[in-house]
Amino acid sequence: MGTFRVATYNVNSIRSRLHIVIPWLQEQRPDVFCMQETKVGDEQFPQADFRAAGYHVTFRGAKQYNGVAIASKAPPTAVRYGLADGGPPDEDRLIAGVFDGITVVNTYVPQGREKDSDQFTYKLAWYRRLKRFFAAHYSPDQPLLWCGDLNVAPEAIDVHDPKRLLGHVCFTPEVWEAFADLRAWGLEDLFRRHHPAEPDRYTFFDYRVPQAAKRGLGWRIDHILATPSLAARSLRCEIDMHPRLAEKPSDHTILVTDFTTP
């Protein structure tokens, strides 16, 4: 029985994180590696480093902000960029492709800034737009995976201090409801499939909190979700803390999952 490995990582600047990304790819050899916040224009994306590691890479980005990319052992088919629904296209927030029969949708969901801001309103609308994107282009009956920095901690066990953090733009009822509505299209949280009630497992540790990663003061806002047929093939879903504890790390770390191949 073979396996198909997918990982997601908010790199917080790909050129600043190559010393983590390339060795991880060489060691773990995922079939698909999704990245967010690459923060580099397309003309300056470090394609050569990925090619040297044996990976094809597809990307959309802009200088200093946002940016998404997918590194893969084989080039994708049916590639899509952005939401393409008549609103802001946000091609630097969504990239999708098909890999070995599995559709992978990689997103960097807007963070939202403050609850009384236009950015928060835009975030809630973005979840609704993404649900329409799934409905327009895909079916919950097909093997599909949605991953990335989704900027939502869905449960109290997904943040280190739920009482104090309640009301934050990533931990508030409005975002929970928007996320749950999108998931109702037909998506399962793979980390919770394998760790249904495990607390203190996080993917993001704020730079501004001293020794946050070592002290376990984090948030679980990076996710991998799958449609039922694909979720049934999931063997594991784990958070790899080593990248966050490395020298000059991103404020996020890597989430990885394995599937059986048909």
- Residue spans of the domains in the chain: they are 3-260
Judged against a pLDDT cut of 80, whether residue 81 lies above it is answered with: yes
Q: What is the DSSP letter of 10?
A: E
Task: Please say whether the beta carbons of 221 and 150 come within 8 A.
Answer: yes
- Does the predicted model carry a pTM greater than 0.85? yes
Judged against a pLDDT cut of 90, whether residue 262 lies above it is answered with: no
Query: Does residue 18 come out as left (phi exceeding 0), alpha (psi in the -120 to 50 range) or beta?
Result: alpha
Instruction: Specify the residue for token string 């094809």.
Output: 56
Of the candidate CATH numbers 3.60.10.10, 3.40.630.30, 3.90.1310.10, 3.40.1190.20, the domain formed by 3-260 belongs to 3.60.10.10
pLDDT digits (tens, 9 = 90+) for 189-231: 999 999 999 999 999 999 999 999 999 999 999 999 999 999 9
pLDDT band (50, 70, 90) for residue 110: very high
Q: Of all helices (H) and strands (E), which one includes residue 9? A: strand 3-10
CA distance 212 to 202: 11
Closest CA to 251 of 6, 26, 9, 46: 9
Give the pLDDT mean for 1-12. 95
pLDDT digits (tens, 9 = 90+) for 156-183: 999 999 999 999 999 999 999 999 999 9
Q: Of all helices (H) and strands (E), which one includes residue 5? A: strand 3-10
Burial class (CB in 10 A: 0-12, 13-18, 19+), 170: buried
